[in-house]
Chains A and B, each alone.
Chain A
Amino acid sequence: MTGLLEAILVDVAILGRATVFNLYFAFASIPVGFGLAVLVMLGRNSNNRLVANLCGGYIYAFRGSPFFIQLFMLYSLALALNLSVWKPLGIDWLVLNPLFLGPLILALNTTAYTAEILHGALRAVPKGEVEAAKAFGMGRSERFRRIIWPHVIRLAWPAYTNEVVFLFHATALVYFTLPVIDGQRDLMSQANDLFQRDYNSVLHFSVAAAYFLAVSLAVFFVFGLVYRHLMRHMPGARPLKFSLTRA
């Protein structure tokens, strides 16, 4: 029995180090993805047909194809451009590093999903409030900053919480595609490696699953607190409820 406990603790320590890589991928890609998503949302809603269609096409392409293929496609594209572009510029060490390329591809992916969520929220903003703001003589940017955006973020927050959890889960795929350098392994890659050593699939994958679960619960908790703050002025606001499907 103590042998089992010891084995679990060893796994917890080894996979704890691996979790840092998953967390890094998520933390590096989420702010970038969110910023880009706001721009894509505005573009999708633009009066310029060309811009609106381009943004819509971007969202459709990234939401309609598997992240696994996007990883392969963008990684091999980066490899193919290595000799002609990155090497002459002297940035091949940066571009081909999984710690740069991984978050970049994750950010491109989450941009599309987040933009779709924000776009849906934008269309649900009460028209009356926007008209009232116009009647008050607010300009375009002031209207967006003070009336539209607070509505958008409140409406989008539950779905965005889900998106962040799904993005964290998507980080599990990064090292199936990108090369492992200097033993920098994430949870799935490390669990696979441990499995190859002693073939104890139940132990290693359970501990990895527990780490994913713990981080997911932490995200739900923190985002729930933020949601309560966002909804603090709404009487009888419902607590955050999570749906199971990615937007």
Chain B
Amino acid sequence: MTETFEFWVSYLTNGRHLNWYASFQYTVIAALLGGAFALLFGIGGAALRNSSLPPLKLLGTIYINMVRGVPDVLFFIFFPLAFEQLVELVIAQSACPAGGGAGVWPPCPEANWFLGTGEYLLLASVSLGIVYGAFTANVISGALNSVPRGQLEAARAFGMTNWQVLSRVHIRQMWVYALPGLSNCWLLLIKATSLLSLLQITDIVRGANLLGAPNFSRTAGVIHGDWRWGYYLALLLFYILVTYLSEKAFAAITRWASRGMPMAERV
């Protein structure tokens, strides 16, 4: 009994496992950074959508609607690839002799842009931000329209400037209406962080695959068989736990944001 216990403790704290635990940071960073980008793009998209200039409005509408028809994983893979190629194309303009080979990438070895985990993580966060920013823009644009007109009229009647109305009344009251939708976007975003391994990042998913694969050694024989499902089950439980904690956190934020609001029960 104690022997099996000791085995499990030493197995679960060996170097490869410690590396795996450390790789959870990539998931957390991508979620937080992606969430920040999503909020930024969301506010920008909502501003475009509610703009009075027709071309800007059209741009905002296209941005918000693009995620309706195309899966997130396509954007998630395409944006980093296209960005990397764009940068390499720019480098190639100056670094490469004219007439690089067609169908070869990069056009010449000098133009190769090596991307490490850090760069990929940043690109992944930006693409998460772009995709979930579209969802967020939809939520925020709807919330801006949900603020009672009377509140804005009252603010104007007090002699506030347009900017004061926007920053002191409109955006302040918008959050209460936006929170349920933002909570939904956040839950979608943290689930999308499981895709990091598609961008060459050795994240928790790839780590689980490596650790769980059947393990042989020449001296000790078979150490363990195919344990991958166990590791993936652990990841499944991790994500369910994060979802649960996020729901609790958003409920608390909603309670806080809607204090003193007469419509609090409806949220």
Contacts and interface: CB of A to CB of B under 8 A. Distances in A.
Do A and B come from the same complex? yes
A230 interface: no
B74 A209 contact: yes
A79 B69 CA distance: 34
A77 B229 contact: yes
20 contacts: A64-B243, A64-B244, A67-B191, A68-B205, A73-B233, A73-B235, A79-B229, A172-B73, A173-B73, A176-B198, A188-B73, A195-B81, A201-B82, A208-B74, A209-B78, A212-B69, A212-B71, A242-B68, A244-B135, A244-B138
B70 A209 contact: yes
The B contact surface, by secondary structure, is helix
The A contact surface, by secondary structure, is helix
Contacts of B208: 72
A45 interface: no
Nearest to A214: B69
Contact of B81 (A188, A201, A208): A201
B228 A201 contact: no
B169 interface: no
A78 B236 CA distance: 16
B69 A65 contact: no
Interface residues of A, number: 41
Interface of A: 60-61, 64-70, 72-73, 76-77, 79-80, 165, 169-170, 172-173, 176, 188, 191-192, 195, 197-199, 201-202, 205, 208-209, 212-213, 216-217, 242, 244-246
B67 interface: yes
A56 B207 CA distance: 31
Which interface residue of B70, B73, B240 has the most chain A CB atoms within 10 A? B70
Given A60-B240, A245-B184, A245-B185, A66 B74 contact: no
Contact of B232 (A67, A76, A198): A76
Contacts of A202: 82
A69 B232 contact: yes
B135 A192 contact: no
A76 B214 CA distance: 11
A16 B7 CA distance: 53
Contacts of B228: 72, 76, 79-80
B74 A216 contact: no
Contact of B191 (A65, A208, A212): A65
Nearest to A245: B184
A191 B198 CA distance: 14
B236 A73 contact: yes
B150 interface: no
A108 to B, nearest CB: 12
Which interface residue of A172, A205, A244 has the most chain B CB atoms within 10 A? A244
A109 B105 CA distance: 39
B249 interface: no
Which interface residue of B71, B73, B198, B240 has the most chain A CB atoms within 10 A? B71
B74 A188 contact: yes
Contacts of B239: 64-66, 69
Contacts of A70: 236
Contacts of B77: 188, 192, 205
A213 B244 contact: no
B74 A205 contact: yes
B135 A201 contact: no
B188 interface: yes
Nearest to A212: B70
B110 interface: no
A148 B103 CA distance: 61
B225 A80 contact: yes
B50 interface: no
A73 B246 CA distance: 23
Contacts of B85: 199, 201
Given A65-B236, A172-B74, 6 more contacts: A61-B240, A67-B191, A70-B236, A73-B236, A209-B69, A245-B184
B44 interface: no
A205 B75 CA distance: 9
A77 B227 CA distance: 9
A65 to B, nearest CB: 4
B112 interface: no
